[in-house]
Structure 1
Amino acid sequence: MRLSLPRAGRLNYARGGSFMNTWTPSGAMASTVEITSTNVQRGDVIQIGGQPCRVADLFQLPRGAKRLLFESGELLTMHPRTRLVAVRVLRRW
């Protein structure tokens, strides 16, 4: 038996959802960057399994690896050869 989603929910996802628009401060520029364990930063938003996750903290591990702690509590270990695409907010002071 298949259950269909409510019509409003389907339309919201068809527009790409609203998460990526709600976290960006007004007037800030966002760009996509390729990140590795050497250049990942706090605040980077990485999409994992279709779910955007913001990096809250970083921990240095042996041999150039880093463990990322996301705001939601999940952990991800990036090895030196891991390459991911992230959204980074450009802050100008």
Structure 2
Amino acid sequence: MRPPSGALATNIEITSDSVQRGDVIQIGGQPCRVADLVQLRAGAKRLLFESGEVLTLHAQSRLIAIRMTRKW
């Protein structure tokens, strides 16, 4: 996935607290962009991807994601 014009792609570590819509997470070698988030019990979040896949991110989980940031 290419960043939009005027944006920089940055690798970051995410948790259920810090994940955002638009983050791209590699799952099974496929980049999946987070389309929506659902808050669950005990600090977990259900990530809904643009492709239709779903992933539950528990409070202790840590993943690497690509986040697009705007150039100033």
TM exceeding 0.5: yes
Q: Which has the higher contact order (CA 8 A, sep 6+)?
A: 2
Q: Which sections of structure 1, spanning at least 5 residues, go unmatched?
A: 1-19
Report which of the two has the higher share of strand: 2
Matched residues in 2 for 1:60 and 1:75: separation? 13
User: For residue 29 of structure 2, what is the aligned residue in structure 1?
Assistant: 50
Describe the shift of the 1:38–1:83 C-alpha distance in structure 2 as closer, same or farther (beyond 3 A): same
User: For residue 5 of structure 2, what is the aligned residue in structure 1?
Assistant: 26
Size of the aligned set, in residue pairs, is 72
TM-score by length of 1: 0.73
Q: Give the superposed CA RMSD.
A: 1.3
Report which of the two has the higher share of helix: 1
Larger radius of gyration: 1
- Between the aligned residues of both structures, percent identity stands at 71
Q: Runs of 4+ in structure 1 displaced over 2 angstroms?
A: none
User: For residue 17 of structure 1, what is the aligned residue in structure 2?
Assistant: none
